[in-house]
Chain A
Amino acid sequence: MRLHSSALLLIGALALAACNNPNRFGAGGAGGAGGAGGYGGVGTTGLGGANDPNSPAYFSQTVGDRVLFAVDQSTLSPEARMILTGQAQWLASHPQYTAIIEGHADEQGTREYNLALGARRASAVQEFLISQGVAPNRLRTVSYGKERPLQVCSEESCYAQNRRAVTVISVGAGS
């Protein structure tokens, strides 16, 4: 049934979801999982207490470590820009941290195209953070394409959360 719903319907539903739930990744949200960090040699660091505003856990849970995208898009929504502005402010006051921005896609696409699409999304976030004053050498991007979905159902409710870019904080000087 879901398979036959039109693309227009999906986009509509997504736009609605994205607009109505800006708080999805707030303190009570998805738990601030670190995305696919830790796979394949990406360095990960202890998250610290979520109540400590200087901790990466605070960054991921309270500032919000991720932004969501429409189907096949890498354009930043107003909500995404708000979250990223917060990320940039946090990074500005915590210069000891660097970040890897992970771009992801939902499963509705071919593998290699989705790698490229995830890279577009990660890059859109990177450019915005740089425009907000974050030094380029503190940011790197990587795409996981559709290899690391956050949600595993094959419904738009899951796809909407999988089309994401996650800013993963780690300790270390810029590259």
Chain B
Amino acid sequence: MFRHLTLALALAGAAFAAAPLAAQDGPLRLEITEGVIEPLPYAVPAFVAENSAAQKYATEISRVVASDLSGTGLFREIPASAHIARVTSFDAPVGYADWKAVNAEALITGAVSVSGDRLTVKFRLYDIYSGQQLGEGLQFAATTASWRRMAHKVADAAYSRITGEGAYFDSRVVFVAETGPKNARQKRLAVMDYDGANVQYLTDSSTIVLAPRFSPTGDRVLYTSFETGFPRIKLLNVASVTAQLLPETPGTMTFAPRFSPDGRQVVYSLEQGGNTDIWKMDLNTGQSARLTNTPSIETGPSYSPDGSRIVFESDRSGTQQLYIMSASGGEPTRISFGQGRYGTPVWSPRGDLIAFTKQNEGRFHIGVMRTDGSEERLLTASFLDEGPTWAPNGRVIMFTRETAGAGGEPRLYSVDITGRNLKVVPTAGAASDPAWSPLLP
């Protein structure tokens, strides 16, 4: 039996329908559109350990795969306790009837083997109702230390095949880890897997650090540091964990840096004499050029994925609003016209949407709008939400949510661009200013 499964999500506008497929018979397909439907039930029995050294990884890897998929809110795992079939050999035929009997619509099987410090993971994805494999089986190999990454690769492949969307689980997030009281907060740069695992600290807490941003290949991070006593932009090499200050104009503050899509330019804010404008700098030559020149505050610049345009915020109209200009500067076009103030715009990696922070009537929101400002939708509301960053597939947004009061502290949250699946990203302590990496190679 062939069937087409449409999983539809609460969504205000049809503009965000991800897969423009009409309902039709065909292989398993989870189409992310409007409406509210049950998550897709799937099973991922413990991966088969093909040798004894693989035993400590096999179950763990299948658990991370399940955590990735179920964590999207689009999938619901059938627990192992409900399984009828047992998968003891990766190449044995799949008992479709047994999986159908427990209402699984998708099945992920896998096998793990270890040789020295080399870990190999194989997996297959099955469409239970059509009784066939969905796509080819895949094999990933890396060191045992990267076992979580291989689990993310498996989940990414399953997610992409079922939804038709780009992958995003095998990615990292750079953020600011915070400790201490609100009036003397200590901040350190840290990087972790997108799900909070494998935290590594990139700076100590001797000075304030703010708002890190990944390069387009994830090898470098731009951030703002107070180590000189004044906000200055630093460029950090992630592999060597060494950082250097960008060239400065004396007597200025620089902050809010972001890479161009080719990784060669930095667009940022430069403050001089109390006035903040947007500049860009060529990272090879150190040459900088001014892109805006007004007495108002211009900050939060972010390139379009093709590098041709820059979205930024400006209070030239009297309050913070969003504008788009050519990447070479020139007259910008205002795109935000709703009530309240708009800041921290970030262009989606798919190019279709701008994510932003909105302040209105004492509340903060994370929202998205089209690049012409139309179809604005608010995804969150709280005392203080700010600073959205896009998952590599442009479907999920991570941001900072801070609680009120003397004991208030920030945590990282993520939300689907449909507004569903709002959840906290696990971190050891307070955390702010997340920036999502591209999908890892």
Contacts and interface: CB of A to CB of B under 8 A. Distances in A.
A142 B229 contact: yes
11 contacts: A3-B383, A74-B274, A110-B387, A112-B210, A112-B300, A142-B253, A143-B271, A152-B182, A152-B405, A153-B405, A153-B406
The 5 closest A-B pairs by CB, nearest first: A123-B274, A40-B226, A154-B404, A116-B276, A40-B207
Nearest to A121: B274
Contact of B299 (A3, A42, A72, A113): A113
A124 B295 CA distance: 13
B102 interface: no
A134 to B, nearest CB: 15
Contacts of B269: 112, 115-116
Interface stretch (A4-12, A18-26, A87-95): A4-12
Interface of B: 181-185, 206-208, 210-211, 224-231, 251, 253, 255-256, 269, 271, 273-276, 297, 299-300, 313, 315, 319-320, 343-344, 357, 359, 361-363, 383-384, 386-387, 402, 404-406, 408, 433
A147 B208 contact: yes
Contacts of B211: 111-112
Contacts of A117: 297
B299 A112 contact: yes
A113 B343 contact: yes
Given A39-B207, A39-B208, A41-B228, A115 B183 contact: no
Query: Interface majority SS on A: helix, strand, loop or mixed?
Result: mixed
Contact of B183 (A113, A141, A148): A148
A78 B343 CA distance: 31
Given A109-B359, A112-B255, A40 B208 contact: yes
A43 B206 CA distance: 15
A149 interface: yes
B229 A42 contact: yes
A68 interface: no
Contacts of A124: 274
Most buried by A among B225, B230, B359, B408: B230
Nearest to B402: A107
A108 B315 CA distance: 16
A149 B256 contact: no
B102 to A, nearest CB: 46
A41 B207 contact: yes
Nearest to A42: B229
Interface in A116-175: 116-117, 119-120, 122-124, 126-127, 140-144, 147-154
A149 B273 CA distance: 23
B207 A119 contact: no
Contacts of B228: 40-41
Contacts of B343: 109-110, 112-113
A72 B269 CA distance: 19
B406 A152 contact: yes
A41 B227 contact: yes
Contacts of B408: 152, 154
A138 to B, nearest CB: 13
A110 B13 CA distance: 27
Contacts of B274: 74, 119-120, 122-124, 126-127, 141
Contacts of A100: 229
Contacts of B383: 3, 154
A72 B309 CA distance: 28
B391 to A, nearest CB: 21
B405 A119 contact: no
Most buried by B among A115, A140, A151, A154: A115
Given A110-B357, A116-B269, A147-B208, A7 B384 contact: no
B230 A4 contact: no
B229 A110 contact: no
A111 B253 contact: no
A153 B405 CA distance: 5
Contacts of A120: 274-276, 297
Contacts of A140: 251
